[in-house]
Structure 1
């Protein structure tokens, strides 16, 4: 059990288990229990809102910590390390969005969900890649991790820029003052995590009431927590907080989010609804658009000699990883919730599209990578 807990497979498996449980409960006699859990009041907060606004702010705090660490002392600390995953992430966001917009161009309301298929679920995709063990070059895991982190940064920018409504200038001003305080604390050499977290709670309050989605506060806080590229970076406040948060996010926050948001009632859903523009646009955006966007931009950079394939990887293995990038799940569901608030029909359709696109990408990517690995082994034997 301890070995499974420390396996890179564990978070993805738990996310899948709770998400499947949500779908099963929503479509069986347990539907009443599921609704009671999702809509229960916790400390005066509806459970669904608590998960999406509070717990997911902690998730984005961890995302911000990972982004800053990778940029300063990790896989993205050098320009040549950023070029391929950065460009691939951009292609992997733009092409899926284009797919969705093509299928939904005649529906202005649905078009608000253009960003849904643009995200990559880092835990899910890395979990699937981990199933292949040592048969996949470590460089491909590094590439996928870097791409997903840059992808998450893009998602944060999209949420702040396109899913913000009814701005309160007074609350935005308060958020700006608190952010300035955090920056001054950083520049003054304050190392106390408690001081940053307490100030971060105040920042969350202002951002939550400003009209900007509360999760943005988590990223702002993360970027203000001290870290350096020195040899002692592993002892920095940022690294210490990241280590403490990681298991809570992986084994509690993300799986609970999946449970609360993945439940879709399939009763009465017709083939016409399944193949309607919203689920088709999302599913094809994730499954086809992602791999095309990631692979085509990467191919262009490699052809122009501006980048090179990850060390030890073949072009076929690289394309298999591009397919895995279509696993959008957590981030796609999250953005979908912001795009279609209060619309039960569109909410159901987006869940169908996200589940279908992510499942297709996971299965196809795994099979493709296995075949690529077998082919490589066969060539080496010959």
Structure 2
């Protein structure tokens, strides 16, 4: 009896930890946690700017390994790599088991996603044309935040056909792949080719061991950390290592395996990504000072206006126009369950940039804190606008779908 009393307090905590992890695998909970972190950052930054900046810029890490960085850099380059590792797994799952496995099905989200990156970038460049340094930010409005977008869709339109969620998820996955390519190609500075080649070799070894069905976390975790370190010191953004490792992770289960390594990694790592890594990134990135002056200045800052126009207008025109063009040209077919009005609503939802847009904004203007704050405010405002407008339209579509079912 005495032993039962001693052990008992630990049992609920273990059970609740499992329940919490399961909840964080749901899109809605992860989105809410990220939203709360964003609100907390905004409150703290506006109540006590100095303490928020002191925390954000606190430096630590071994200097002899070239890892003496500010907290926000550790979050961007370290924690966010976990998010991109999950994104890499999602990309591979889609190519092997999902919509991207069949060319006919893949054409619709691929064309929509590509157009959904090109059109926002063009609109941004048109709006910001002539502003010094504006060209550095062209990629900011090209990204869609998977977690936030799927959370809004789950909360407002769970009754809509599953094909709509599949389209959004698949196009957002392609979007993420495009975003990480942009980061790798356009935001690599002072390239250390030897370190990069060593990182590629380690990632290739990781992939080879996966293909040979070698098991053991004790093997893969050190390899993943070494790959991250080598890519980090190479000058290429470390999140690229996360995506590469995700793409190398095996998605087929072997003999004697109930789940594939990709499924296991997603099961155990996604709660950490959704419940800690991404919210912490939101917390250290979204803390901007909001005042009448700063908000008023946004109305005349064409870089910020370009970001807002690119996300709110460009994403809609690109995703919806790309999907329409793909069907019109006979490259793809719209699901019989969906209407073009459903596609219009979810195309606006693609304008939620947030995580990757904030990251690209800091990479583009990291040497200009004032510009970073302005762009961050623009991304937050655009993401909020896209969320609200899409939520309203999706609720209307839900009512229309339910009415049509009642008539039948």
Q: Does residue 36 in structure 1 map to residue 58 in structure 2?
A: no
Conservation of the 8 A alpha-carbon contact between 1:14 and 1:255:
yes
Q: Does residue 16 in structure 1 map to residue 35 in structure 2?
A: yes
Inter-CA distance 319–231: structure 2 relative to 1 (3 Å threshold): farther
- For 1:100 and 1:323, how far apart are their aligned partners in 2? 16
Inter-CA distance 8–175: structure 2 relative to 1 (3 Å threshold): closer
Q: CA deviation at 1:247?
A: 0.5
Give the greater-gyration-radius structure (CA): 2
Conservation of the 8 A alpha-carbon contact between 1:278 and 1:353:
no
Q: Does residue 286 in structure 1 map to residue 297 in structure 2?
A: no
Question: 2:86 is matched with which residue?
Answer: 62
Inter-CA distance 225–373: structure 2 relative to 1 (3 Å threshold): closer
Conservation of the 8 A alpha-carbon contact between 1:73 and 1:233:
no
- Comparing 59-68 with 92-101, greater Cα deviation is found at 59-68
- For 2:194 and 2:114, how far apart are their aligned partners in 1? 34
- Deviation string 1:142-175 (CA, Å, 9 cap, x unpaired) is 1111111111000111111111111112212322
- Deviation string 1:11-68 (CA, Å, 9 cap, x unpaired) is 111111110121122112x333322332334556422111011111111111111111
Question: 1:73 is matched with which residue?
Answer: 97
DSSP-derived class of the 2:323 partner? helix
Structure 2, gaps ≥5 residues long = 1-15, 62-67
- Comparing 269-278 with 82-91, greater Cα deviation is found at 269-278
- For 2:258 and 2:83, how far apart are their aligned partners in 1? 21
User: Matches of residues 99-110 of structure 1 in structure 2 within 5 Å?
Assistant: 99-110=123-134
Inter-CA distance 99–133: structure 2 relative to 1 (3 Å threshold): closer
Instruction: Using structure 1 for the length normalisation, give the TM-score.
Output: 0.93
Inter-CA distance 202–17: structure 2 relative to 1 (3 Å threshold): same
Q: CA deviation at 1:203?
A: 1.2
Question: 1:124 is matched with which residue?
Answer: 148
Question: 1:273 is matched with which residue?
Answer: 298
Conservation of the 8 A alpha-carbon contact between 1:192 and 1:237:
no
Inter-CA distance 298–230: structure 2 relative to 1 (3 Å threshold): farther
Inter-CA distance 134–179: structure 2 relative to 1 (3 Å threshold): closer
Question: 2:109 is matched with which residue?
Answer: 85
- For 1:51 and 1:317, how far apart are their aligned partners in 2? 36
- Comparing 213-222 with 72-81, greater Cα deviation is found at 72-81
Instruction: Using structure 2 for the length normalisation, give the TM-score.
Output: 0.87
- For 2:84 and 2:113, how far apart are their aligned partners in 1? 18
Question: 2:348 is matched with which residue?
Answer: 323
Question: 1:366 is matched with which residue?
Answer: 391
Conservation of the 8 A alpha-carbon contact between 1:128 and 1:366:
yes
- For 1:4 and 1:184, how far apart are their aligned partners in 2? 34
Question: 1:245 is matched with which residue?
Answer: 269
Runs of 4 or more, structure 1, over 6 Å off, are: 229-234
Inter-CA distance 81–270: structure 2 relative to 1 (3 Å threshold): closer
- For 1:232 and 1:326, how far apart are their aligned partners in 2? 43
Q: CA deviation at 1:232?
A: 8.6
Conservation of the 8 A alpha-carbon contact between 1:191 and 1:226:
no
- Deviation string 1:235-263 (CA, Å, 9 cap, x unpaired) is 11122111111000011111111110001
Q: CA deviation at 1:381?
A: 4.6
- Deviation string 1:191-213 (CA, Å, 9 cap, x unpaired) is 33431221121111111111111
Question: 1:199 is matched with which residue?
Answer: 223
Structure 1, gaps ≥5 residues long = none
Inter-CA distance 280–232: structure 2 relative to 1 (3 Å threshold): farther
DSSP-derived class of the 1:143 partner? helix
Question: What is the Cα-based RMSD across aligned positions, in Å?
Answer: 2.2
Conservation of the 8 A alpha-carbon contact between 2:24 and 2:271:
no
